[in-house]
């Protein structure tokens, strides 16, 4: 060890002693988008709040791009479930291989707006999913937002279901394969981490993702020409902790952790909605051609995707779909 290193180590020791605190326990948090997204910002906010609320007893190290799961975005939930990861921020769609019921949020055209979304993700319906996830070893701490998923491609503007015919579309999960098939496209399931390169090289023509959480921060506009705001599927994210970790915490720490998660995800939802609201204008400035379908045009997409809705509503089960529909109806905004 050289002099400089020795001095550095001594300094570290002194500052630790001066702060009077025991070394914080570091929890590892995995998420599957890049470090510029609102997923990352929400995860970092959670780390800050947890450290504050626990008086520095815990801190969080955030690992983007599903790197702790070898780049496999679907594997993260299973790893948290068996305690191989402490924490995860991921979207519902990534958990459908483990828990098919999680597809409920993303059923095509289930929601007509944010108030309907909030009535389910921030209300009793989401608790039905939380129970199932708990049985799989994941304690959901709070729900955030990926958002309404919009379609982009490099071939032509999408104005009607016919325009989807024959397009090679990257999709994230199994339900979207059925949705894309219903629209006459050629879906291909692919990791998000591989998608930008695939779009750039023309391996696929298009993809679909939310504007504020992913398309803008991950610069999808650099490799895609056309975007249609078809709002066809909503995707929430959640912040979850391994139940192995959770059950070992005392009630006070549990309360602090849940509070930190709720505040962090509220912040994450807010910045995601802001980014989405400003997003279309920004994307046009970047040279994208954006098409905003009318109500009648949206109805054509709704009709075309109905077969996939029916298949997946069956997989989710009547109890859960019914609870979601009831909460949506009670907002009084129709859909």
Residues lying near ligand X2X in the complex (CB under 6 A) are found at 32-33, 73, 91, 93-94, 146, 172, 192, 209, 214, 235
| CB-based contacts of 78, cutoff 8 Å, min separation 6 | 98
If the CB atoms of residues 53 and 269 are measured against ligand X2X, the closer one turns out to be: 269
If the CB atoms of residues 234 and 246 are measured against ligand X2X, the closer one turns out to be: 234
Please answer whether residues 199 and 222 qualify as being in contact, where contact means their C-beta atoms are separated by less than 8 angstroms.
Answer: no
Q: Which residue has the tokens 């509220």?
A: 266
Q: Least distance from C-beta 55 to ligand X2X, angstroms?
A: 34
Q: Which of 212, 275, 263, 248 is nearest to 46 (CA)?
A: 263
The vertex-90 CA angle with 88 and 93, nearest 5°, equals 145
The vertex-268 CA angle with 134 and 218, nearest 5°, equals 105
If the CB atoms of residues 94 and 256 are measured against ligand X2X, the closer one turns out to be: 94
Residue nearest to ligand X2X (CB): 192
If the CB atoms of residues 50 and 129 are measured against ligand X2X, the closer one turns out to be: 129
Whole-angstrom Cα Rg for the chain:
21
In the chain the first and final C-alpha atoms are separated, in Å, by 67
Q: Least distance from C-beta 101 to ligand X2X, angstroms?
A: 16
For residue 130 the two structure tokens come to 């939380």
Q: Least distance from C-beta 77 to ligand X2X, angstroms?
A: 11
Q: Least distance from C-beta 39 to ligand X2X, angstroms?
A: 8
Q: Least distance from C-beta 22 to ligand X2X, angstroms?
A: 36
Q: Least distance from C-beta 1 to ligand X2X, angstroms?
A: 43
Rounded CA-CA distance 215/182 in Å is 24
If the CB atoms of residues 54 and 146 are measured against ligand X2X, the closer one turns out to be: 146
If the CB atoms of residues 33 and 276 are measured against ligand X2X, the closer one turns out to be: 33
Rounded CA-CA distance 190/74 in Å is 11
């Amino acid at each position: 060890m050289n002099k400089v290193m020795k001095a550095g180590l001594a300094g570290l020791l002194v500052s630790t002693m001066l702060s009077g605190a025991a070394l914080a326990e570091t929890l590892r948090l995995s998420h599957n988008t890049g470090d510029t997204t609102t997923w990352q910002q929400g995860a970092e906010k959670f780390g800050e709040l947890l450290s504050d609320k626990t008086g520095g007893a815990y801190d969080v190290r955030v690992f983007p791009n599903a790197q702790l799961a070898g780049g496999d975005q679907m594997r993260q939930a299973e790893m948290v479930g068996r305690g191989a990861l402490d924490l995860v921020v991921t979207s519902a769609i990534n958990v459908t291989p483990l828990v098919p019921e999680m597809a409920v949020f993303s059923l095509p055209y289930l929601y007509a707006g944010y108030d309907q979304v909030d009535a389910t993700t921030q209300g009793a319906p989401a608790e039905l999913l939380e129970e199932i996830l708990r049985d799989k070893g994941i304690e959901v701490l709070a729900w955030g937002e990926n958002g309404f998923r919009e379609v982009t491609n490099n071939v032509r503007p999408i104005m009607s279901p016919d325009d989807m015919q024959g397009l090679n579309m990257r999709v994230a999960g199994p339900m979207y394969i059925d949705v894309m098939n219903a629209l006459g496209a050629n879906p291909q399931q692919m990791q998000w981490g591989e998608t930008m390169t695939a779009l750039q090289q023309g391996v696929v023509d298009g993809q679909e993702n939310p504007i504020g959480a992913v398309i803008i921060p991950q610069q999808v506009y650099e490799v895609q020409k056309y975007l249609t705001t078809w709002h066809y599927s909503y995707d929430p994210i959640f912040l979850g902790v391994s139940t192995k970790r959770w059950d070992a915490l005392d009630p006070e720490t549990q309360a602090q952790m849940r509070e930190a998660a709720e505040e962090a995800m509220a912040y994450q939802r807010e910045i995601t909605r802001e980014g989405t609201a400003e997003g279309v204008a920004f994307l046009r400035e970047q040279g994208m051609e954006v098409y905003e379908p009318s109500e009648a045009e949206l109805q054509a997409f709704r009709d075309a995707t109905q077969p996939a809705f029916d298949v997946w509503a069956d997989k989710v089960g009547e109890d859960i779909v019914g609870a979601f529909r009831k909460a949506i109806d009670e907002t009084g905004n129709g859909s």
